[in-house]
Structure 1
């Protein structure tokens, strides 16, 4: 079912003559307002410590309660992706983000209060002030670091986060392989 089916009244004038305009939008037959259903923006933080371990959280709430996750969440209005990821990291772990670097994005469907929220999840590599004492706050039950080579993506309960972890691990493998190749090949420099 397309999420627009759940929108029965025009958000501008309240008319019940709010009808399908095309596969992406509804249009009000009374005031002419057209509403396009677009993805919400969300962030995911990838935080490494000095031992090349990834910060992982355990979800305290549904959806996927009890499964692994990464810090992150919805971006608030008037916030940039960088501001949103920094706020979410602070709210969930107590860490202060000093630098965030955008890596990639993945589409997602996040079930929330009986509604499927379509999101575009933006993954950021975040540097934080101090990784020695992660805390669990907000919707996080616990936080811990796992060595990259011991991460099991299937333990991550949310689809886009699972795919993002797989992609990040592959990026790290390719980078390691590239550096190993450069070290063994004469004449190749960075």
Structure 2
């Protein structure tokens, strides 16, 4: 696997091709002196459980992993908090209005976007939604529906960090005995 910095040939500040590895995290331009540190992009994932102990899941409409199951979420916009990002993503993808987003944990991830490998830090939130009766698949979601927690098959979820995060979430529910299995 290539180092992520190998994807960048030209300095993003001046356009020079004198953009070389500075250290394991950065490249430096020898023309203008700019140092670029390669950092993870922030992303969110929502766990939304209804009163029937069912988890809101989506079917991916686009690559990567088109057609597989997923959870609502996506990239955080600039100047947006994690909570604001997950609330916006849930609304854009499902039409649901999140009343509260409670941070749970984060996982590093590799996400292929338009042929470009993006390193992300996926932040997982439990999201409280008052009214789940008007779910609608929108944006990059082909379908969205509630799935009983005890019927979830993690291997049906196409993205690695979602599978890991979902397993961690289910394990926490089992250890807290918050749900009927």
Given the two structures, how large is their TM-score scaled by the length of structure 1? 0.91
The number of residue pairs the alignment matches comes to: 178
**Is 168-177 or 89-98 further displaced after alignment?**
168-177
Q: What is aligned with 1:187?
A: none
The alignment's C-alpha RMSD in Å is 1.2
Three-state SS of the structure 1 residue aligned to 2:93 is: helix
Q: What is aligned with 2:148?
A: 147
Three-state SS of the structure 1 residue aligned to 2:136 is: coil
Larger Rg: 1
Cα offsets for 1:3-49 (capped at 9, x unmatched): 21111111111111000111111001111111000000000000010
Q: What is aligned with 1:168?
A: 169
Aligned equivalents of 2:7 and 2:133: distance in 1? Answer: 46
1:149 CA displacement: 1.1
Alignment pair present for 1:123 and 2:115 = no
Q: Where does structure 1 differ by over 6 angstroms across 4 or more consecutive aligned residues?
A: none
Aligned equivalents of 1:13 and 1:134: distance in 2? Answer: 47
Correspondence list, 1:90-101, <5 A:
90-101=91-102
Unaligned runs of 5+ in 1: 180-190
Alignment pair present for 1:78 and 2:82 = no
Three-state SS of the structure 1 residue aligned to 2:132 is: coil
Correspondence list, 1:4-23, <5 A:
4-23=5-24
Q: What is aligned with 1:41?
A: 42
Alignment pair present for 1:57 and 2:82 = no
1:129 CA displacement: 2.5
Aligned equivalents of 2:138 and 2:11: distance in 1? Answer: 38
